[in-house]
Structure 1
Amino acid sequence: MADQTGALRESFLQQENNSAQYPLPDNEEERLVALQEYQLLDTPPEQSFERLTGLASRLFNVPIVLISLIERERQFFKSHIGLDICETSREVSFCTHAIMRDDVLVVPDATKDQRFSTNPLVLGPPFIRFYAGKPLVTPSGMRLGTVCLIDTKPRFSFNDDDRKHLSDIASLVMEHMETRRLDLVRSISQARFENIARTSADAIIFSNSESQITFWNHSAERIFGYKADEVLNHSTDILIPDSWLPLYEAEVERLQTGEQLQLADRVVELSGLRKDGTEFPAEFSLSTWWEGPSVNAGAIIRDITERKENEERLFRLASLDPLTDLPNRGAWRECLMNVLQASEPCTVMLLDLDLFKEINDTLGHAFGDEVLKEVATRLRTICKEARMIARLGGDEFIILYPGNDARRARALASEIIATIKTPYDFAGQHAEIGVSIGISFSPQHSLRADELMGAADLALYRAKAAGKGQFEIFVPALREVAVARRAFEQELRQAFERKEFELFYQPQFSAETRELTGAEALIRWHHPHRGLLSPASFIDVLSQKPSAPEIGEWILHTASSQAARWRKQRKDFRIGVNLFAVQFRHGNLVQVVRKVLDETGLPGEAVELEIVENILLHDEPDTLRLLNDLRTLGVGLAFDDYGTGFASLSILKRYPVSRLKIDRTFIRDVDTNPEDEAVVRAILYLGRSFGMNVIAEGVETEAQLSFLQKSGCQEVQGYLLGRPVPSAEFEERFLSGITKKG
């Protein structure tokens, strides 16, 4: 933070030495005069403002929130969260642009905005990307500054509700500023004070030493409902509800004896009593002064009914999940921290709904929302003794129970599982879901919130792996497994950097003539301690890592380069390359394939990209467009492991697949199992019907090969004819004119 502060101050000083160019309001001088009236510049932090910036930070989930006041050449931060300075040059200020408009200024990505892309606060600390600022406007219309939200990541969604919430917070800040200003007014002359009081939006009331009302402004009439002639020379007790009448009487006694009022010179929240007998929340600011031998009292009273309603709504938004009305993640963490800091034993139960995604996909999100609300209702019914039931987001819920009794936790988890799986019926539609639960205890498993949550998460992961609809209690071995997995992931990251990956090649042959037609490139890992590892040992983890697109590109380029050399010996040689699903989502696959073809000189038909079912089912319109673009380049598209998933015939009709690969599980017993035989014959029939070639994987016996030849399968690969081998061995064995069995 010290480095950040230094960089910001240096930026500020550099900007001061430049000739500033920034927009100025037409009424700039009047605006600066109005700003001085509030006497807020260079003042220390105040709780009322700090509370509102904290609320905004939680409500909008942003790291930086500022209450910024724009002076002539600088902006001063009356309150700031996430930024360890209290001012910057006006020249680098986003807020100086925000005060030029009435509504919220939103900058989704500052690096893409001409006004700010070269701003030192964008290019350097705090590296601003997103900004939203609402002007602070005085009752007379002067824009003094802003309440602004800042994030170091771009945000492209800031809807009308977000704008309203930010505007409400700005209104609350302005109300606090107005309260301070009126407090300052008390120090000026009585005559001027009364003149201002007559036009104030707040009720301003004077009384003498006998507590008789001597001054009553128009706002007092509006707020309390009494006209001036109904209250002048009457006791102020008509404005005081029973709830604080004893305090009022004690203050009157102090006033009559010349003592200092207990409530003087500060703002206190109390209730006011209207003429119709109703009470309302109000801020009272009391003061006294002497006129000759007599003491007088004054009160500035603000009706804060609307503010209280807004604050309650905003705090509700900041702490409650709007769909289920359960506490949200922020409220949950605060509750858990309080329990752990008090050293109270507790049980954490982390819940994840099973099959919920299928409900959204098949019955729609509206039905899914109704299910989530019903789940919340059922949890409240079951878990009456819980300290808190919260929704963390999506289909995740969490429960905090007092005590750490494992037997009770098991019984409760079983009851929750049974209750949640009871069917859900809405608007004539029916659905069933389940729930998996991970459980951890404090202090046994940790006294830290993040570790306790992590323990429950690891237990949940084990429960889902056990078949869903289960619960697991955390044991240290689960953490050891997680640590081992992280270590393995670190090894994978280093493996690519250390060039420990190698491609093996499995030959592919014509089923009828046994002539070589191509090869499938398969990755292997030369692990420094465990030796040569097949993809089964690491491919699932690797495919989920951020480096997967880069490794996938390396595989494609390496295999294509090798194929280009082998095509000099066998001109019709074709190379098959498996793709990671993430390469389809990365957005540049077509460009990568085109670049590889250009650099290796391969024609498109020499490359066959192998895709699996989950790729075809992901984001259908974009996937279809991408596959068509790839086919335009001439490359083949092989549907790998066909028959093992849920792919329908419509996929073969819609997608430009050029080859089907029969999975080895159907080939293993194809010559002895009638069901496998029927599946293989059906796939071959589909291939012929849709004009696609078919290749069978896992051919290991002559009987299997003979069946495939008789059934009209065009190509085969498997251990019978050749195992996956390094490139040099592949060239020696399969391209030298001598074909040996694997």
Structure 2
Amino acid sequence: MDSPLYPMPIDEEQRLLTLDEYHLVDTPPTGDFDRLAALAARLFDVPIVLISLVASDRQFFKAHVGFDICETSREISFCSYTIVEDDILFIPDALSDPRFSSNPLVIGSPFIRFYAGKPLVTPTGEKIGTVCLIDAKPHPSFSDEDRQNLSDLAALIMERMELRRLDHLKQINQARFDSLATASPNAIVCSDANNRITYWNPSAEKIFGYSAKEVMGLPITIIIPDGRRDLYDAELRKLQRSKKKELGSNSILLSGLRKDGSEFPAEFSIALWEENHRPCIGTIVRDATERQQHEERLFRLASLDSLTNLFNRGAWNVCLAESLAAARPVTVLLLDLDSFKEVNDTFGHSAGDAVLKEMAIRIEDNCTNALMLARLGGDEFVALLPGNDVRAARMTAKRLVAAASLPFEFAGRSIRIGMSIGVSLAPNHSTHPEELLGAADLALYQAKAAGRGRYELFTPSFREVAIARRAFEHELKLAFENGEFELFYQPQVVTGTQRVVGAEALMRWRHPKRGLLTPASFMDVLIAKPSANAVGEWVLRSACETAAKWRTKIPDFRISVNLFEAQLSSGRLFSVVKEVLAKTKLPGDSLELEIVENILLRNDDTTLRLLHRLRELGVGLAFDDYGTGFASLGLLKRYPVSRLKIDRSFIRNVNSDAEDSAVVKAIIYLGKSFDLDVIAEGVETQQQLDFLIDNDCVEAQGYLFGKPMPAAEFTMKFVDPI
């Protein structure tokens, strides 16, 4: 006989005999195993979960989620490999595993890529099957926590199977019964028609603290607390009326009462039979303490957000759907933290996590009547409140906004953020879960657009605005494809002589219907789109090509180009800059890249290395809008910035506002101290220019010297003047 194409356990013969004792192969689905499989699918977020029993030539699925067939050949079974393992078999990518790369279940439906299986081990050590997780996409890792959770789940399943094995004790002869009952980890108690105890196994002694000699002839109710005896009696009467003969067919969760008076959660499985024409009662008692702890832990993992201990998105979806299906009036508050990203960028993710935990507490304190509070992910929370009273919704939202605005303390530092809230009501705005949450999301968008730190109640006009916004986003996508973007150039001059030494390239959109649009009309939308990197590369190439022409007349001409954040994270910026400089024959110092503060605040090592490489090419790095945010002196030491740009907001009143004047002087001083160039933006008057000259600011740009203009006009005015 040929050897099988799969590994064979050394105890195969005994393993198959033990499997037969459980009477589970080829049995119909049962709710307890189906529920455990469904729980595993939610807990591990996988599409397929199988509870498999490995027979001699096939594997039978006692429970299956996401896989419709009930069995497969053992020859193609992954579980054949699992039952020879001592622990979990983890396969991150089956296509990369020579054991499975050509398996029909890998190259065909269900197209298995990821597999994690835990053997189901009987109390006597045989591995009769597995609980396994399957996905059609690879999973590069399976954490220690995942392993513990899968092991706990396997323990629960095996305990259920063991209980089912014991359910068949009535069908085994008395000698067999005595042997198994002695080895059973569960208490097995037999009693007569008067409920007097006639049999008490060793596990009963261990669980309840009574010896067999102590309890013989006593009523079985000595192991049931007074408050639970009526439930036991009612279940027994029900069983007597139904005349069921299968041991364990009736199970109820009660409490067990130990000899010392302590109570514990216990599952009682009761059966009736006759011996010598006399009725007998058999009761299997299982200490459910550990199982209850496992189930509670698994429920928490499947339903709660691990950071904040609020409910997670899955639990929220269920609660909202149930509330709306019951036609209850409810209020949805969708909460989003303002400026939370800056907390992570400035103080680190540990500070961000601390803020999220504290925010969850503040939300709970201000929503004491909530049906559910949940964290949907990131810095987004949601509250479901009873009723749909507009005034009550506004009052709660107002309290939450105020609570979020209070400072957070972390490691001796004070952190301030805010909260924006979108409010929707049911049934007023919708009775469908997705639509109701979508309405709150539209209201949240309006709250943020109106300045943040506020709340908005949904109105139908918000949907009209959303439709218009989507249409605008589509137009913006077509604008790049159709070549509707243009570059304008604003001159940069030496303050003392007003000689042009460079220009900043600025985007414009020549809209086919609305005419020429400035970045204020579209930039916030553009930078969030997937096309941002491609647009940024186009700006860089176009500006450098134009600058190369102008340098033939102005040899020291410098072009300044604003970077999009997407360009820094694309992994292409250095190679693109190097290629553009080579193609246009521009020296590195003829190009200056402008970076906004939030990019530097990330304190990202990858970004730092990229900027150093750019500086090695000679490319200048300008810190745009310096002084308007949270930038520290540490950033100037850490990053290879070559120029500070004084924001126009300080120049506007530099001659009349002492604070603005002081800020400008301080930035100029910083530039000198750190050996950085400084340029002032927004210079519109001679008085402003005089101030800059008097304070040794070498360069400037603004309407005083020229507005942003097309390349042809710039050439005529500054490069080839008539």
| Same-fold call, TM cutoff 0.5 | yes
Aligned to 1:471: 455
Letter in 1 for 2:456: E
Q: Determine the C-alpha separation between the residues in 2 that align with 1:252 and 1:640.
A: 81
The structural deviation recorded for 1:517 is 3.6
Q: Determine the C-alpha separation between the residues in 2 that align with 1:598 and 1:27.
A: 71
Q: Does 1:540 align with 2:524?
A: yes
Q: Determine the C-alpha separation between the residues in 2 that align with 1:650 and 1:259.
A: 80
Other structure's SS at 2:444 match: helix
Q: Does 1:738 align with 2:718?
A: no
Q: Does 1:407 align with 2:398?
A: no
Letter in 2 for 1:79: A
Q: Determine the C-alpha separation between the residues in 2 that align with 1:609 and 1:359.
A: 26
Choose the corresponding residue for 1:530, options 503, 514, 517.
514
Aligned to 2:330: 346
Distance 1:441-1:252 versus aligned 2 partners, 3 A rule: closer
Q: Does 1:137 align with 2:116?
A: no
Contact 1:73 1:89 in 2 (8 A): yes
Aligned to 1:553: 537
Distance 1:163-1:518 versus aligned 2 partners, 3 A rule: same
Q: Determine the C-alpha separation between the residues in 2 that align with 1:527 and 1:640.
A: 27
Contact 1:501 1:524 in 2 (8 A): yes
Letter in 2 for 1:574: R
Other structure's SS at 1:619 match: coil
Letter in 2 for 1:260: K
Contact 2:245 2:271 in 1 (8 A): no
Q: Does 1:269 align with 2:237?
A: no
Contact 1:75 1:88 in 2 (8 A): yes
Q: Determine the C-alpha separation between the residues in 2 that align with 1:486 and 1:395.
A: 24
Q: Determine the C-alpha separation between the residues in 1 that align with 2:618 and 2:107.
A: 43
The structural deviation recorded for 1:455 is 2.4
1:65-144 superposed matches below 5 A: 65-70=49-54, 75-87=59-71, 95-106=79-90, 131-144=115-128
Q: Determine the C-alpha separation between the residues in 2 that align with 1:434 and 1:516.
A: 44
Q: Does 1:658 align with 2:642?
A: yes
Contact 1:269 1:281 in 2 (8 A): no
Aligned to 2:624: 640
Aligned to 1:59: 43
Q: Does 1:260 align with 2:240?
A: no
Distance 1:567-1:352 versus aligned 2 partners, 3 A rule: closer
Q: Determine the C-alpha separation between the residues in 1 that align with 2:414 and 2:642.
A: 40
Q: Does 1:312 align with 2:296?
A: yes
Letter in 1 for 2:126: M
Give CA deviations for 1:220-259 in whole Å, capped at 9, x if unaligned. Answer: 332333333334455545445444545655777799x997
The structural deviation recorded for 1:307 is 0.9
Q: Determine the C-alpha separation between the residues in 2 that align with 1:149 and 1:331.
A: 21
The structural deviation recorded for 1:474 is 1.9
After alignment, is 435-444 or 673-682 more displaced?
A: 673-682
Aligned to 2:151: 167
After alignment, is 157-166 or 367-376 more displaced?
A: 367-376
Q: Does 1:582 align with 2:566?
A: yes
Aligned to 2:598: 614
Q: Determine the C-alpha separation between the residues in 2 that align with 1:92 and 1:503.
A: 62
Aligned to 1:187: 171
Other structure's SS at 2:578 match: helix
The structural deviation recorded for 1:132 is 4.1
Q: Does 1:224 align with 2:224?
A: no
Choose the corresponding residue for 2:609, options 625, 628, 648.
625
Other structure's SS at 2:468 match: helix
What is the TM-score normalised by the length of structure 2?
0.84
What is the TM-score normalised by the length of structure 1?
0.82
Q: Determine the C-alpha separation between the residues in 2 that align with 1:645 and 1:669.
A: 18
Q: Determine the C-alpha separation between the residues in 1 that align with 2:164 and 2:646.
A: 78
Contact 2:304 2:312 in 1 (8 A): yes
Distance 1:607-1:161 versus aligned 2 partners, 3 A rule: same
Give CA deviations for 1:165-223 in whole Å, capped at 9, x if unaligned. Answer: 32211111111122223334543444433333332222334445565544433223323
Distance 1:193-1:483 versus aligned 2 partners, 3 A rule: same
Distance 1:593-1:475 versus aligned 2 partners, 3 A rule: same
Letter in 2 for 1:332: W
Contact 1:211 1:252 in 2 (8 A): no
Give CA deviations for 1:433-470 in whole Å, capped at 9, x if unaligned. Answer: 76544322111111112222232333334445555553
The structural deviation recorded for 1:707 is 5.8
The structural deviation recorded for 1:611 is 0.9
Contact 1:659 1:693 in 2 (8 A): yes
Give CA deviations for 1:553-603 in whole Å, capped at 9, x if unaligned. Answer: 333234334444555665544332211123223344333333444555543
Q: Determine the C-alpha separation between the residues in 2 that align with 1:334 and 1:712.
A: 65
Distance 1:231-1:389 versus aligned 2 partners, 3 A rule: same
Distance 1:706-1:416 versus aligned 2 partners, 3 A rule: closer
Letter in 2 for 1:454: G
Contact 1:251 1:261 in 2 (8 A): no
Q: Determine the C-alpha separation between the residues in 1 that align with 2:445 and 2:308.
A: 24
Contact 2:596 2:625 in 1 (8 A): yes
Q: Determine the C-alpha separation between the residues in 1 that align with 2:7 and 2:556.
A: 68
Letter in 1 for 2:243: Q
Distance 1:98-1:499 versus aligned 2 partners, 3 A rule: farther
Contact 2:246 2:272 in 1 (8 A): no
Distance 1:432-1:691 versus aligned 2 partners, 3 A rule: closer
Other structure's SS at 1:167 match: helix
Letter in 2 for 1:266: S
After alignment, is 611-620 or 275-284 more displaced?
A: 275-284
Q: Determine the C-alpha separation between the residues in 2 that align with 1:432 and 1:518.
A: 39
Q: Determine the C-alpha separation between the residues in 1 that align with 2:95 and 2:533.
A: 26
Other structure's SS at 1:521 match: strand
After alignment, is 303-312 or 591-600 more displaced?
A: 591-600
Contact 1:563 1:574 in 2 (8 A): yes
Q: Determine the C-alpha separation between the residues in 1 that align with 2:478 and 2:529.
A: 12
Give CA deviations for 1:387-416 in whole Å, capped at 9, x if unaligned. Answer: 334454565544333221212333344455
Q: Determine the C-alpha separation between the residues in 1 that align with 2:536 and 2:161.
A: 58
Contact 2:245 2:272 in 1 (8 A): no
Contact 2:167 2:246 in 1 (8 A): no
Q: Determine the C-alpha separation between the residues in 2 that align with 1:192 and 1:663.
A: 89
Contact 2:562 2:594 in 1 (8 A): yes
Distance 1:112-1:684 versus aligned 2 partners, 3 A rule: farther
The structural deviation recorded for 1:535 is 1.7
Contact 1:350 1:396 in 2 (8 A): yes
Choose the corresponding residue for 1:691, options 647, 655, 675.
675
Structure 1: runs of 5 or more not aligned: 1-18
Choose the corresponding residue for 2:475, options 485, 491, 511.
491
Contact 1:98 1:146 in 2 (8 A): yes
Q: CA RMSD in A?
A: 4.2
Contact 1:251 1:262 in 2 (8 A): no
Q: Does 1:337 align with 2:321?
A: yes
Contact 1:254 1:261 in 2 (8 A): no
Give CA deviations for 1:314-344 in whole Å, capped at 9, x if unaligned. Answer: 2234334556554444333322222211111
Other structure's SS at 2:644 match: strand
Aligned to 2:370: 386
Other structure's SS at 2:602 match: coil
- Identity among equivalent positions (%) equals 60
